[in-house]
Amino acid sequence: MADHYEVLGVARDASTDEIKKAYRRLARQLHPDVNPGADASERFKSVTHAYDVLSDVKQRDNYDRGGNGRSGGGGGAGFDGNFGNFGDIFETFFGGGGSSRGPRSRRERGQDALIRVDLDLDEIIFGTHRELEVDTAIMCATCSGTCCQPGTAPVTCDICHGTGTIQRAVRSLLGNVMTSSPCGSCRGYGTIIATPCVTCQGQGRVRARRTVPVDIPAGVDTGLRLQMPGSGEAGPAGGPNGDLYLEMKVRHHDVFSRDGDDLLCTLEVPMTDAILGRSATVKALDGDIEVELRPGTQSAEIITVKDRGVTRLRGNGRGDLKVGVHVVTPTRLDHKERELIEAFAARHKAPVPALSAFQQGLFAKLRDRFRG
């Protein structure tokens, strides 16, 4: 007879867990349902017998002293009717034994929902309120989620008697193996809806359009998601609602753009105003602002108006409004205007034009200064 340790491929001082792991690995390879060959069947018998001996403390001790490994004597290398370790074999092939977890519940959590919310730039400065129309699943008002016609209730399944599972005996080389599977009559619920609600067809929920009030905080930005717990779809059979996620999308604005909590824009000023200086009132997203141009203002200068940007999402206060100056040079002059400009140039001895580092126009300079 082959040595049991060699059959399982373990050392003589192997632990119980090591022996168990080796047996499971070999049993999966050699079981007749997986490997129908005659050699595999004989090896499976030897592996099972070796494990049966070495997994029992008394039998292993007897085997190590030169015995045959059976405390009661008798029995060869085949099956001798001892199924003390049958639970290990069942666990190997049927996933954890034949114990039943009981019937499953009809009540399940509803699915989460995701919708996009389009916002204008001025709405995110201080936040806004929306009434969102959502197509979703809501609890059935007729049966209140019970799935049954009013005045009725689920009845116990007469096939599985409320357990939700059916046990069957399957013959194998190991003898009769008891297997459990969901009851086909009640689908594992243990009860049957004899008189389902006609409104929801026994689901406990229906599709409907509902209004969800939402307070959108100030400072949100494109891509940000807000979670509204319990505002998603209602679960089957009165199960709890899922969550509703709102994904923000801020629309493009023709004048203002956003840089974090700051707002950016460009102010075009005539050459004369840039030279002489001037105060101007311009419209912002949340009212008029006063812009002061100092004499000699240059293109790409930044005028910062404090606390007129976006309200901070996390924190206090607001960002700033940064106004980039663009000095507009006239392109068409009449005879009199040209004479005046020439007279100005004659009196104002400008330096000779010279080369400097390359710059990609006003917007590149503004970008660099905005970020500086």
147 is in an annotated binding site: no
Instruction: Note whether 264 and 331 are same-domain residues.
Output: yes
Those residues whose C-beta lies under 8 Å from the C-beta of residue 157, and which sit 6 or more positions away, are 164, 183, 185, 186, 189, 190, 191, 192
Instruction: Note whether 220 and 280 are same-domain residues.
Output: no
Instruction: Note whether 28 and 149 are same-domain residues.
Output: no
Is there a contact between 196 and 149 (Cβ–Cβ < 8 Å)? yes
Condensed to tens digits (0 to 9), the pLDDT of residues 227-238 reads 999 999 999 999
Instruction: Note whether 198 and 313 are same-domain residues.
Output: no
CATH for 65: 1.10.287.110
Comparing 168 with 82, the larger pLDDT belongs to 168
Last residue of a domain, one of 61, 94, 127: 94
Separation between Cα atoms, residue 139 and residue 234, nearest integer Å:
6
pTM comes to 0.62
Condensed to tens digits (0 to 9), the pLDDT of residues 254-264 reads 999 999 999 99
Among residues 215, 220, 264, the alpha carbon closest in space to that of 125 is found at: 220
| Strand 191-192 relative to strand 155-156, pairing | antiparallel
Q: How many CA atoms lie within 13 A of 171 on its CB side?
A: 0
Instruction: Note whether 138 and 245 are same-domain residues.
Output: yes
CATH for 265: 2.60.260.20
Q: Check whether 269 has a pLDDT greater than 50.
A: yes
Where residue 20 falls (left for φ over 0; alpha for ψ -120 to 50; beta otherwise) is alpha
Separation between Cα atoms, residue 245 and residue 305, nearest integer Å:
35
Last residue of a domain, one of 205, 222, 250: 250
Q: Is residue 176 part of a domain?
A: no
Q: Is residue 165 part of a domain?
A: no
Residue 222, domain extent: 113-154+193-250
Q: How confident is the model at residue 82 (pLDDT cuts 50, 70, 90)?
A: very low
Q: Is residue 119 part of a domain?
A: yes
Q: Is residue 159 part of a domain?
A: no
143 is in an annotated binding site: yes
Q: Is residue 184 part of a domain?
A: no
* pLDDT number for residue 47: 83
User: Amino acid identity, residue 107?
Assistant: R
160 is in an annotated binding site: yes
157 is in an annotated binding site: yes
Instruction: Note whether 306 and 246 are same-domain residues.
Output: no
* pLDDT number for residue 342: 86
Q: Check whether 173 has a pLDDT greater than 90.
A: no
* Number of domains the chain contains: 3
Q: Is residue 357 part of a domain?
A: yes
Give me the residue label for tokens 């009661």.
72
Mean pLDDT of the chain: 83
Instruction: Note whether 206 and 326 are same-domain residues.
Output: no
265 is in an annotated binding site: no
Q: Is residue 212 part of a domain?
A: yes
148 is in an annotated binding site: no
Condensed to tens digits (0 to 9), the pLDDT of residues 287-309 reads 999 999 999 999 889 999 999 99
Instruction: Note whether 243 and 144 are same-domain residues.
Output: yes
Instruction: Note whether 231 and 266 are same-domain residues.
Output: no
200 is in an annotated binding site: yes
Q: How confident is the model at residue 331 (pLDDT cuts 50, 70, 90)?
A: confident
Condensed to tens digits (0 to 9), the pLDDT of residues 346-368 reads 888 777 777 766 555 555 665 66
Instruction: Note whether 335 and 226 are same-domain residues.
Output: no
Instruction: Note whether 261 and 366 are same-domain residues.
Output: yes
Comparing 24 with 283, the larger pLDDT belongs to 283
Instruction: Note whether 89 and 130 are same-domain residues.
Output: no
